[in-house]
Amino acid sequence: MADDKTRILDQVREYHRSRAGGEFVPGVTPVLASGAALDEDDRVALVEAALEMRIAAGVSSRRFEREFARMFTLRKAHLTNSGSSANLLALSALTSPQLEDSRLVPGDEVITVAAGFPTTVNPIIHNGLVPVFVDVELGTYNTTPERVAAAIGPRTKAIMMAHSLGNPFAVAEIAELAEQHGLLLVEDNCDAVGSTYRGQLTGTFGDLATVSFYPAHHITMGEGGCVLTDNLALARIVESLRDWGRDCWCEPGEDNRCFKRFDQQLGDLPHGYDHKYIFSHVGYNLKSTDLQAALGLTQLSRIEEFGDARRRNWRRMREALDGLPGLLLPEPTPDSDPSWFGFVLTVLPDATYDRRDLVAFLESRRIATRRFFGGNLVRHPAYRDHEYRIAGELTNSDLITEHTFWVGVYPGLTEEMIEYSIDSIREFVLKNS
C-alpha cells in the first residue's frame, strides 16, 4: 500500500510539471490582481490528504494551528472555514457571557474604518453593536490614532479594523489607546500576514486577530481562515462558538478529555448529562477540513518567500511610477514593513484624466484592476437601515470611492508582467497628461 501511494504521488508530481504555464504574451495572458501561488508540493499535499480520506478536521488541522500560532508567538490559533468567519468568531467572542462585565452588549459601539471590506464591519452589526466609522488618510489608506481617539464616546467598547492592503495601521499606538480607555482590540490581519510594525508582526498587538486563506491572500487553503489570540479564555470561547457553541473541548474522536463527561451539572440540565452535548454559547459550525490544512502546511513554509516577492514587486512599481502627473502613489505607514496585498493608486481629482478611463485602458490590456474594496461603506445599500455613527468627516473615504483602485503584486506575477503593468500605466498617463 505504501508503494502504491508513493507511485501515485510521484505521478502527481509528473502531472504538475506537465502543466507548467507557457510564455507571457502581453495583452493576451491575464495579469491578475491576486491569486494563489501553488507548486507541486501543494498539489501532492492535497492528493495525499485525499488518499488518506482526511475529509474532516484532524491531524493536519491541529498541526497547522500549532505551527501558525508559533509563527506569531501566540498561544492559540483556531482554523475556520473562511476569513469572514474568523472575523465573525473574533467579534462574537467579545460578546460571550463568560466575559461577565467586560463583554460587549447590544448598543455598545465598535470603532472601525469607513473605507474597507464589509466583513470587518458586518460582525459588529450581526451582534447588535453599533459601528463607529472613522476616515482614513490617503497614501497609507489607514486611519490614525488621532481619528480613533476623537471617535471614542461613552458607549465605545472596542476597536476592530484591518491593515489596509497589507499596510499596517499604527497598531502599537492604537493598542495603547485601547488599553488606556479599557477597549478591546481586534486586528483584521487578513491582508497583512508577514507585515510588521515597529519590528513586530501585525496580528500580535490586539486581543484577537484574524487571517484569511482565500486564494487572493498571502497563503491559501482554497477557502479558510484563522483566529489568533494569546488569551486562553478568549481562545476557549472562539473554539466553542466555532464548534456549534458546545461546552466540551474534546478533539474529534475524543470522548472524555475532561474526565467528567458524565459527572457535571450545567444550566438546568440534569446532573451527568453528556458533556459532549452541552452548549454554553449560541454558536455555529465554522470548522475547516484536513484537505485545507494539508495545503496550508505546504504554503506555510513559503510565507517568507511570498512576502519577499510582494515587497519586490511593490518596490519596482513604486520606483517606476514615481513622479507621474495626476497619480497619488501609496506609502507605507511610518515604522512599518508591509507584506503588500496590492499596489493602490488614486487618480487625483485635478488630473487631466480620470480613474475610469485608466482602469478601462488597463483592463483592455488584460491587466486586472480592483476597487479599494467597498470604498465608503456607509454609501452602500446594505447599511442603509442599520444604526451606525460617523465620527468626523469621511472626506478621504468618499474620494477613495470615486478615484482609487489597485493592481496586483502577488507572487504569481512574473517580472515581465510587472514591467508590462508599469509600462501600460506610464503610457496612458503620459499620453493623457
Give catalytic residue positions: 217
Strand partners, 162: 188
Which residue type occupies 229?
A: T
Q: Are 290 and 56 in contact (CB under 8 A)?
A: yes
Q: Are 6 and 345 in contact (CB under 8 A)?
A: no
Residue 207 per-residue DSSP state: S
Residues with Cβ within 8 Å of residue 328, at least 6 apart in sequence: 138, 139, 345, 346, 347, 348
* Region class of 386: left (phi > 0), else alpha (psi between -120 and 50), else beta: beta
CA angle (51, 53, 58) in 5-degree steps:
125
Which residue type occupies 17?
A: R
CA angle (144, 178, 236) in 5-degree steps:
125
Using alpha carbons, select from 262, 253, 409 the residue that is nearest to residue 343: 409
Using alpha carbons, select from 289, 225, 419, 305 the residue that is nearest to residue 37: 305
Residue 343 per-residue DSSP state: E
Residues with Cβ within 8 Å of residue 410, at least 6 apart in sequence: 32, 33, 34, 35, 37, 216, 309, 310, 313, 341, 342
Instruction: Retrieve residue 220's grid coordinates.
Output: 491559501
Q: Are 196 and 169 in contact (CB under 8 A)?
A: no
Q: Are 159 and 133 in contact (CB under 8 A)?
A: no
Using alpha carbons, select from 230, 242, 218, 206 the residue that is nearest to residue 88: 242
